[in-house]
């Protein structure tokens, strides 16, 4: 089925997920299959990011959160990390103006103070350049750890209790959610993971509590908007009960 046909079907098929989260997995395996160094897989994955953004824009998705670089990834070889940082700067240089023109607002979630100065400057530039975009919120999770995010939220709430601005009895789910990076957006409705792996990999552990999971065998560099549409079509076939029973 062509992309246009998939898009027509999903527009008729039911609710469009407001927020999609993606674990972009398989760059290394893609490169290995082609006897290429791992950074070539990461570079090829940049095209897939564009496909995901275009697919979400076409489908009417309002928020797209991409897991680009975890805190655990800092343990990778220095040359691979350096290549990833350069690719981040390259992506921003190539895409910033186009994203702004398409109404995409970019945010970067994670401990970005750990980035090299040039990468941090590039991040600040794309955030400023795309501010005010009203078609799609694009969240890039870079130097991100969900456990660290939750621990940071707990520390902030604890400090508020110490300061007397919050009572311990007021620390509920809503209070925790307000301290997370994603506080201004609804939780993801749909999680897509590529490469066939069945793990959350320390990604949005709190926010994905009731998301529908769609795992696709495609390696991330081969991901296209058709794969995005297929995941939405699968989402539309699901019955979302949120712990309740069907009526």
Known catalytic residue: 27?
no
Q: In angstroms, rounded to a whole number, what is the distance separating the alpha carbons of residues 7 and 101?
A: 22
Range list of β-strands (E), 97-184: 104-109, 136-144
User: Of these residues, 25, 187, 189, 230, which one is catalytic?
Assistant: 25
Q: Rg of the chain over CA atoms, in angstroms?
A: 19
From 10, 29, 142, select the one nearest 89 (Cα to Cα).
Answer: 142
Q: Is the dihedral of CA 170, 172, 178, 184 positive or negative?
A: negative
Q: In angstroms, rounded to a whole number, what is the distance separating the alpha carbons of residues 70 and 202?
A: 8
From 136, 207, 142, select the one nearest 178 (Cα to Cα).
Answer: 207
The conformation of residue 14, written as its DSSP 8-state character, comes to: S
User: Of these residues, 5, 27, 35, 73, which one is catalytic?
Assistant: 73
Residues 6+ apart with CB under 8 A from 121: none
Known catalytic residue: 97?
no
Please report, for residues 68, 82, 164, 229, 231, the alpha-carbon distance to residue 224 in angstroms, rounded to integers and kept in the order given.
Answer: 17, 26, 51, 9, 11
Q: Which sequence positions are flagged as catalytic?
A: 25, 73
């Amino acid at each position: 089925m062509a992309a246009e046909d998939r898009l027509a079907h999903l527009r008729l098929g039911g609710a469009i997920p407001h927020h999609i989260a993606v674990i972009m997995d398989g760059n290394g395996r893609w490169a290995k299959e082609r006897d290429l160094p791992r950074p070539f897989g990461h570079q090829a994955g940049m095209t897939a990011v564009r496909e995901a953004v275009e697919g979400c824009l076409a489908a009417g998705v309002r928020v797209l959160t991409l897991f680009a670089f975890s805190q655990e990834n800092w343990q990778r070889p220095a040359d691979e990390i350096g290549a990833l940082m350069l690719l981040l700067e390259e992506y921003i240089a190539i895409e910033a103006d186009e994203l702004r023109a398409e109404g995409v607002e970019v945010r970067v979630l994670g401990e970005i103070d750990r980035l090299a100065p040039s990468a941090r400057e590039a991040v600040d530039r794309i955030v400023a350049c795309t501010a005010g975009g009203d078609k799609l919120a694009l969240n890039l999770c870079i130097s991100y750890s969900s456990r660290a995010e939750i621990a940071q939220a707990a520390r902030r709430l604890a400090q508020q209790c110490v300061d007397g601005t919050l009572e311990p009895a007021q620390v509920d789910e809503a209070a925790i959610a307000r301290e997370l990076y994603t506080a201004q957006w609804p939780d993801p409705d749909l999680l897509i993971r590529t490469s066939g792996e069945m793990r959350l990999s320390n990604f949005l552990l709190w926010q994905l509590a009731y998301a529908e999971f769609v795992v696709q065998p495609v390696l991330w560099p081969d991901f296209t908007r058709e794969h995005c549409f297929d995941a939405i079509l699968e989402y539309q076939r699901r019955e979302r009960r949120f712990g309740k029973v069907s009526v």
